[in-house]
Chain A
Amino acid sequence: MRDVKAITSNLAAVEMMKVEMLTGNVAAAWAARLADVDYIPAYPITPQTEIIETLAKWIGEGVMKAKLVQLESEHSMLTAAGTASLTGARVFTATSSQGLLYGFEMLYNIAGWRAPLVLVNVSRGVAAPVTLEPDHNDVLAARDSGFLQFHAETCQDVLDLILLAYRVSEDRRVRLPSIVNMDGFYLSFTREPVHLPSQEMVEEFLPPYIPTLPFRASRPVVKGASVLGGHIYTYFKHNIHESMRRAIEVFEEASRHYGELTGRVYRPVEGFYLEDAEYVLVMSNSFTTMGKRAVLRLRDRGVPAGLVKIVMYRPFPSDQLAELLKNRKAVAVLDQNISPGMGGIIYQEVAGALYHQRNRPEVLMSVIGGLGGKYISLEEFEYIFDVLQHPEGRKPNTPLFLFRKDELESVKRALGLAGLGGEMG
């Protein structure tokens, strides 16, 4: 471990921050450790397990003080997480894909209970077919549950966004749980340098969580009571929605504070080479790094390309997004997910955000790629920008589906092996 100066010019007290080679999983574990979480209910699933193993090791060694319990399923895990959070414990947990879906109904409960825990989802395509590699159908399924969602591009983002998530979730103006998403393999098992804020910094940034009317053995309280009436139900749902909308502002406020301490400032949506960009790609998560590389290449060739990264997916920063995208010539939304029969999920939300924007881009194109972790080559990214520059003749409501010819050849060989015809059949 070596010390480097934090990469910022205007840090008042220039903190010495440790930099370490960490996987996304270990970065997540570090965030939980720095946040001084009290309780970690767990259930193993690839590619998330390393997070829990790391925390278990630290707790075993005595360098971290928390209670880690392995439950018998993700459903029990999330139930334990939510209820523990209501006692006033700071709760951390993690899952992935089928695991998230197995515990799914509890997501809505945890949000309705106003239990501000943080759940890390390590994205993995949802079976069938079975895969271990990432796409975002798993995390986007939780879109409407009342969890805030933050999507990480780098292992550094994983650590920082978890700390930010605790701060925003526990804020009295929000009091809703968060999901921090990282891509399986591309982040979870990928090591890269990560700056670790000091414990003092995190303590200053993250005040203790003070629960509202916590569970106590000496004082029973009902949480999440049944209401049996549409109007009472609506009243509470509306309040969740309002709290969620407030979270954008609370996040920006927290992020400014985090920036003062660490030099790293996050925005709900972030631009890359946007200033004079005419052709813009909207995307999120780890593949964004590859998208940025394509933008740089195009810039070298004189193409006014740019990129918008969605960091905060719930609440959806519609206004901020519309502001960044106005006056552009053409915009593509890359969805690493698919809603069969419709297309890309985030595309629809971007379209909704832009509808009322004056000077909205004339072309808004949906692109689907990276399903099940399918690699998106530089050429494919460049192809997206080619189409954006020459959209003539494309059907507006038909997504551009990234799938290369050589990949088709490979599929054919696999089909042959499976005895389903094809070249070797």
Chain B
Amino acid sequence: MLKIRFHGRGGQGVKTSSRILGRAAFLDGFIAQDSPIYGAERRGAPVVSFTRISKTPITERGFIFDPDIVIVMDETLLNDWLARPLEGVKKGGAVFVNAVSGFPPPAGHDDKVFITYDLTGMALEIIGKPIISSPAAAAAAKITGLISKSSILEATAEELAELDLKDELLEKNIQLAAEVYDVIPTPAINTQESEPITREVSPLEYEPVTHEEVIHLDISNLGNSALRRTGNWRIFKPIVDPQKCTGCLVCIIYCPDSCITLDENNKAVIDYDNCKGCMICLRECPLRAISSVREVRVYA
């Protein structure tokens, strides 16, 4: 069985990627299983989804802890302590990272193949939006070495049609998937089927510890959301033009993360540590003083 885990952010099409890949495997005659997992839905928040591809019936469900292949749809997730996209990737497995340029494998991961490609740039170029469900699925399909090009394109068409995509957009997505399929290499994947760990265990390891007191489900740590920087969620970055900004406060009111303030000259300033790139400010600014540029970061 081949296990593929997709990591991305809400709005990137993470769930759809795992479904396109699942359907493509199904079309190619495999037994497939795909599923997402996410919390409270929020654009930009980490999302993860899974595809299992097998020739024999699949006896697993849910989270994939030991993937053969990981698709990281947003490179900033590599640093995210909650998402931990590289956790559990099997020795000899492959990691694909959607990034502007390549980088050497992070410490402790040189036993895996790393492939990088700028899917977002390609998506912006062809469909004009940073949604990369179809190219990420195509990349994954090619990396498995199991899925035919015709199946991935058919699966892309079927899955996106279910999402009611307009024909034109659908065509562009298929074009995008085809181009990505052609350019991504198929690495040699040398992973072993994981065996359940057998060892002597004390039953205490598998049963909860008794508490003599009541544990309250409270959060009293005031203002701890500041510890959670959302600045690395950005795909686009808002830029204020101080020449145009009149300090009207509109963007400040609309920013859902309260990360705009006025400086001493009455100009809007954005806190980029926390701005998540939702672009609401850009849409609301009556003076059109805010523009956007693509966020380009290189993981190191």
Interface residues in chain A, defined as those with a beta carbon under 8 Å from any beta carbon in chain B: 112-114, 172-175, 212-213, 219-228, 234-236, 238-239, 242-243
Q: Complex Cα distance A239/B214, Å?
A: 7
Residue in A closest to B215 when the chains form the complex, CB atoms: A239
The residues of B that contact A112 with a CB separation of less than 8 Å are 217
Given contacts A112-B217, A226-B39, A239-B214, 9 further A-B contacts (CB under 8 A): A113-B217, A172-B213, A173-B212, A212-B216, A213-B216, A222-B218, A223-B216, A225-B218, A226-B40
Task: Give the shortest distance, in Å, between A91 (CB) and chain B (any CB).
Answer: 17
Q: Complex Cα distance A224/B215, Å?
A: 11
**7 interchain residue pairs of minimum CB distance:** A222-B219, A228-B39, A239-B215, A175-B214, A238-B208, A221-B220, A225-B219
27 contacting pairs across A/B (C-beta < 8 A):
A112-B217, A114-B217, A172-B214, A173-B212, A173-B213, A173-B214, A175-B214, A175-B216, A212-B218, A213-B216, A219-B220, A219-B222, A220-B222, A221-B219, A222-B219, A222-B220, A223-B216, A223-B217, A223-B218, A224-B217, A225-B218, A226-B39, A228-B39, A234-B208, A235-B208, A239-B214, A239-B215
The residues of B that contact A173 with a CB separation of less than 8 Å are 212-214
The residues of B that contact A219 with a CB separation of less than 8 Å are 220, 222
Task: Give the shortest distance, in Å, between A171 (CB) and chain B (any CB).
Answer: 9
Q: Which residues B209-264 have CB closer than 8 A to chain A?
A: 210-220, 222
Q: Complex Cα distance A223/B215, Å?
A: 12
Q: A226-B40, A228-B39, A235-B208 are in contact. Are A213 and B220 (CB under 8 A)?
A: yes
Interface string of B29-57 (1 = CB under 8 A from A): 00000000001100000000000000000
Task: Give the shortest distance, in Å, between A144 (CB) and chain B (any CB).
Answer: 18
Residue in B closest to A236 when the chains form the complex, CB atoms: B217
Task: State whether A225 touches B217 (Cβ < 8 A).
Answer: yes
Task: State whether B214 touches A243 (Cβ < 8 A).
Answer: yes
Residue in A closest to B63 when the chains form the complex, CB atoms: A230
Residue in B closest to A222 when the chains form the complex, CB atoms: B219
Q: Which residues B186-221 have CB closer than 8 A to chain A?
A: 208, 210-220
The residues of A that contact B210 with a CB separation of less than 8 Å are 242
The residues of A that contact B220 with a CB separation of less than 8 Å are 213, 219, 221-222
The residues of B that contact A220 with a CB separation of less than 8 Å are 222
Q: Complex Cα distance A242/B210, Å?
A: 8
The residues of A that contact B217 with a CB separation of less than 8 Å are 112-114, 223-225, 227, 236
Interface residues in chain B, defined as those with a beta carbon under 8 Å from any beta carbon in chain A: 39-40, 208, 210-220, 222
The residues of B that contact A114 with a CB separation of less than 8 Å are 214, 216-217
Residue in B closest to A235 when the chains form the complex, CB atoms: B208
Residue in B closest to A229 when the chains form the complex, CB atoms: B39
Q: Complex Cα distance A242/B40, Å?
A: 29
Q: Complex Cα distance A173/B216, Å?
A: 12
Residue in A closest to B219 when the chains form the complex, CB atoms: A222
Q: Complex Cα distance A236/B211, Å?
A: 11
The residues of A that contact B219 with a CB separation of less than 8 Å are 221-222, 225
Q: A222-B219, A226-B40 are in contact. Are A174 and B214 (CB under 8 A)?
A: yes
Task: State whether A242 touches B211 (Cβ < 8 A).
Answer: yes
The residues of B that contact A221 with a CB separation of less than 8 Å are 218-220
The residues of A that contact B211 with a CB separation of less than 8 Å are 239, 242
Q: Complex Cα distance A175/B217, Å?
A: 12
The residues of A that contact B212 with a CB separation of less than 8 Å are 173
The residues of B that contact A212 with a CB separation of less than 8 Å are 214, 216, 218
Q: Complex Cα distance A337/B133, Å?
A: 53
Task: Give the shortest distance, in Å, between A416 (CB) and chain B (any CB).
Answer: 56
Q: Complex Cα distance A173/B217, Å?
A: 15
Q: Complex Cα distance A235/B39, Å?
A: 18
The residues of B that contact A236 with a CB separation of less than 8 Å are 215, 217
The residues of A that contact B208 with a CB separation of less than 8 Å are 234-235, 238
Q: Complex Cα distance A192/B48, Å?
A: 63
The residues of B that contact A174 with a CB separation of less than 8 Å are 214
Q: Complex Cα distance A281/B224, Å?
A: 57
Task: Give the shortest distance, in Å, between B38 (CB) and chain A (any CB).
Answer: 9
Task: Give the shortest distance, in Å, between A229 (CB) and chain B (any CB).
Answer: 9
Q: Complex Cα distance A220/B221, Å?
A: 9
Task: Give the shortest distance, in Å, between A362 (CB) and chain B (any CB).
Answer: 34
Q: Complex Cα distance A167/B186, Å?
A: 68
Q: Complex Cα distance A224/B218, Å?
A: 6
Task: Give the shortest distance, in Å, between B39 (CB) and chain A (any CB).
Answer: 4
Task: Give the shortest distance, in Å, between B160 (CB) and chain A (any CB).
Answer: 28
Which residue, of B40, B214, B215, has the highest number of chain A Cβ atoms within 10 A? B214
Q: Complex Cα distance A236/B222, Å?
A: 21
Task: Give the shortest distance, in Å, between A244 (CB) and chain B (any CB).
Answer: 11
The residues of A that contact B39 with a CB separation of less than 8 Å are 226, 228
Task: Give the shortest distance, in Å, between B280 (CB) and chain A (any CB).
Answer: 24
Q: Complex Cα distance A239/B212, Å?
A: 9
Residue in B closest to A174 when the chains form the complex, CB atoms: B214
The residues of B that contact A234 with a CB separation of less than 8 Å are 208
The residues of B that contact A243 with a CB separation of less than 8 Å are 214
